[in-house]
Amino acid sequence: MKKNALSATPKVLFVTPEIYPLIKTGGLADVSGSLPAALRELGADVRVLVPGYPKVLAGIKNKRLLHIFHDLPETDEARLISAKLPGSGVPLFIIDCPALFQRDGNPYQDPSGTDWPDNARRFALLSRIGAILASDASPLSFRPGIVHCNDWQSGIVPALLHFAPGRKKAASVMTIHNLAFQGIFPAQTLDQVGLPPECFNMEGVEFYGNFSFLKAGLYYAGHITTVSPNYAQEIQKEPLGFGMQGLLAHRSEQLTGIVNGIDTKDWNPAADRHLVQTYDTDNMAGKAANKRALQEKMGLDPDPAIPLLGIISRITHQKGLDLLLKVAPHLLDEPVQIVLLGTGDAALEEGFRKLARAHPGKVAVLIGFDEGLSHLIEAGVDLFLMPSRFEPCGLNQMYSQRYGTPPVVHATGGLSDTVVDVNPRTLADHSATGFVFRHMTAVDLHACVRRALAAYRDHATWRSLQRNGMARDFSWEKSAADYLALYRTVLSAEC
């Protein structure tokens, strides 16, 4: 990228498989829905490329057909549509390819929870169009200097660019939101996505005999980022490197951890339309009203004094909910209530349903995905539980702090970077915001929740934790500026 591209504000193509408010399965959607807008506020020309799932096409207005791609390796025909992201107005490029994206279910799985068998082809198409738009083969006048890829679904963009003919290509940044998902497919898949056989080796896209979309990104991207500084360190070693630790340690000079921000407009207890009553740090009456409403809605005993513990999560091994299931019966010996909203692993889902049946009025479990209810839970519960085994960043612990709901978290990844454990020193300097446990054991989790319950009974400590958390700045401002600085560094390295 050449000198004038450096002095001007960067042009960025942000490639993502999900984006809030159009389509969301987890935190990547929240980040894709808010980081590009924050970067645009800093002056960068960021546009987002996303697949045209039914919810995406139904959720946008004023679509404009930009181009029709023919005879790509993945499909005979794909239409490129432009629109604006509802809310922030960020420009979108949407891939309309009904054969690959017009399906019920979520972006990655069919309604029964099984991965779509043609996921390699589906996300190769996302990556391919990303790579075309990031090179001089693009049919558009928008020519990005940076292509910013997110997770394995856009992981082969840097490899496709590396092997593409032509000289004018954007520099690539690959962000890892979760290294546990590596986009691993049989070796033969390489042919289908049009990458040359010579990249199928350790110094390339090969991963223990298979082809990994994510490894392609980690190997060929100009720079790698991940979503918290602590996780950037953790993934350079076992066990959280999930087999990629060697490559990541080797590239540590080009690996940066930038903590996620949150959308402080969407997640604002003083203006949240999903709450029955809004509130702020000086007037917490609304929080009690939301607790009452939540207890009523979920069939819990309507007792304002009983501490209410909340969980909103993918119900998976990563999130440590198996451990919570072990500890919950002991916690319930005391006067506490638990509300859980989530979907995921069928056996764990059933475990939580069983817990609710055994404790009517004390445990409420809703298996499903419900954005509005997730806001009401953040506002209505007293404590938020996030015992994740690993957590690249995590967003709910930040939402919780902003909603005056101190979180209980395991000391891992972004949870360590964003929650300050309460102790006499952190109480005195007003930095304490929650409860952190070190060892991923039932004993430690139980002890930590009991410590939190003791603090809950001490009004002064509790108010101080709530105030500290609600005053923290989790906005994108600083992290977006860090991305912008990184884009500039990457562009200058290309010169």
Q: Which does 227 bind (CB under 5 to 8 A by kind): ligand ADP, ligand GLC, none?
A: ligand GLC
Should residue 369 be labelled a site residue for ligand ADP when binding is judged by CB under 6 A?
A: yes
Q: How open is the CA angle 332-338-344, to the nearest 5 degrees?
A: 115
User: Binding to ligand GLC (CB under 6 A): which residues in 225-284?
Assistant: 227, 260
Considering only 172, 313, 416, 468, the residue that binds ligand ADP (CB under 6 A) is 313
Please report whether residue 27 would count as binding ligand GLC according to CB under 6 A: yes
What's the rounded Cα separation, in Å, for the pair 404 and 387?
A: 19
The letter for the amino acid at 121 is R
Angle at 387 between CA 441 and CA 472, to 5 degrees: 135
**Burial state string for 2-34 with b = 16 or more CB within 10 A and e = fewer than 16:** eeebeeebbbbbbbbbbbbbbbbeebbbbbbbb
Site mask, ligand ADP, residues 389-428, x = CB under 6 A?
A: ----xxxx--------------------------------
The site partner of 296 among ligand ADP, ligand GLC, none (C-beta below 5 to 8 Å per kind) is none
Window 424 to 453, contacts with ligand ADP (CB under 6 A): none
SS (H, E, C) 296-348: HHHCCCCCCCCCEEEEEEEECHHHCHHHHHHHHHHHCCCCCEEEEEEEECHHH
Paired tokens of 377: 């839970």
Strand partners, 33: none
> Residue 17's binding partner, choosing from ligand ADP, ligand GLC, none, with beta-carbon cut-off 5 to 8 A by kind?
none
DSSP state of 182: -
Is residue 370 part of the contact set for ligand ADP (CB under 6 A)? yes
Which residues from 4-43 bind ligand ADP, rule CB under 6 A? 26-28, 30
Contact letters for ligand ADP, residues 257-296 (x by CB under 6 A): ----------------------------------------
Q: Which of 145, 269, 342, 404 binds ligand ADP (CB under 6 A)?
A: 342
Q: How far apart are CA 465 and CA 463, in angstroms?
A: 5
Among 393, 424, 418, 417, which Cα is nearest to 406's? Answer: 418
Q: Which of 195, 229, 227 is nearest to 212 (CA)?
A: 195
In this complex, which beta carbon is closest to ligand GLC, that of residue 16 or of residue 468?
16
Q: Count other Cβ atoms within 10 Å, centred on residue 171.
A: 25
Q: How far is CA 123 from CA 95, 185, 254, in A?
A: 11, 12, 25
At closest approach, how far in Å is the CB of 214 from ligand GLC? 13
Both tokens assigned to 169: 């290509």
The amino acid occupying position 128 is: R
Decide: is 341 part of the binding site for ligand ADP (CB under 6 A).
yes
- Residue 313 binding result from ligand GLC, ligand ADP, none, given CB thresholds of 5 to 8 Å by partner type: ligand ADP
The CB-of-32 to ligand ADP minimum distance in angstroms stands at 11
From 55-63, 94-102, 340-348, 355-363, span contacting ligand ADP (CB under 6 A):
340-348
Question: For residues 155 and 149, what is the distance between their CA atoms, to the nearest angstrom?
Answer: 7
CA 254, 259, 260: angle at the middle one, nearest 5?
Answer: 120
274's contact among ligand GLC, ligand ADP, none, with CB below 5 to 8 A by partner kind, is none
CA distance 274 to 375: 6
**In the complex, what is the shortest distance from the CB of residue 177 to ligand GLC, in angstroms, rounded to a whole number?**
3
Q: What is the DSSP letter of 210?
A: E
**Interacting residues with ligand GLC between 391 and 420 (CB under 6 A):** 391-395, 414
**Site size for ligand GLC, by CB under 6 A?**
14
In sequence order, the β-bridge partners of residue 257 are 226
What SS3 class is residue 129?
A: helix
**Residue sitting closest to ligand GLC (CB):** 27
- Residue 235 C-beta: closest distance to ligand ADP, Å: 15
Note whether 149 binds ligand GLC by CB under 6 A: no
Closer by beta carbon to ligand ADP, 371 or else 429: 371
The single residue among 26, 59, 229, 361 that binds ligand GLC, judged by CB under 6 A, is 26
Residues across the chain: 495
Query: Quick one: 75 or 106, whose CB is closer to ligand GLC?
Result: 106
What order of strands is seen across the sheet that includes strand 210-212? 184-185, 210-212, 206-207
Q: Which residues bind ligand GLC (CB under 6 A)?
A: 26-28, 31, 177-178, 227, 260, 391-395, 414
Q: Which residues bind ligand ADP (CB under 6 A)?
A: 26-28, 30, 312-314, 341-343, 369-371, 374, 393-396
